[in-house]
Amino acid sequence: MTVWRRNLLALAVSVGMAASATLAIADGPSKGDWPNIPWTWQGLYAGVHIGNADTFGDDGLVFGAQIGRNWQSGKVVYGIEGDISFSGNDSIDWMGTARGRLGYLITSNILLYGTAGVGFVNFSHHGGGTDAEFVAGVGIEGKLTQTTTVRLEYLNFSDSDIDVVRVGLNFKLNW
118-170 pLDDT, tens digit per residue, is: 999 998 876 678 899 999 999 999 999 989 999 999 999 998 889 999 999 99
Answer left, alpha or beta for residue 24, where phi above 0 means left and psi between -120 and 50 means alpha: alpha
Quick check: 3 pLDDT over 60?
A: no
- Distance, in Å, from the CA atom of 104 to the CA atom of 52, rounded to the nearest integer, reads 26
The predicted-structure confidence for 32-55, as pLDDT tens digits, reads as follows 555 556 678 999 999 999 999 998
Neighbouring CB atoms inside 10 A of 60's CB total 18
* Confidence (pTM): 0.78
Residue 80 DSSP label? E
When the pLDDT of each residue in the chain is averaged and rounded to a whole number, the result is 84
Helix, strand, coil % in the chain, rounded to nearest 5: 15, 60, 25
Q: Does the structural domain 2-26+39-172 have CATH classification 3.40.50.1980?
A: no
Domain ranges of the chain: 2-26+39-172
Quick check: 112 pLDDT over 60?
A: yes
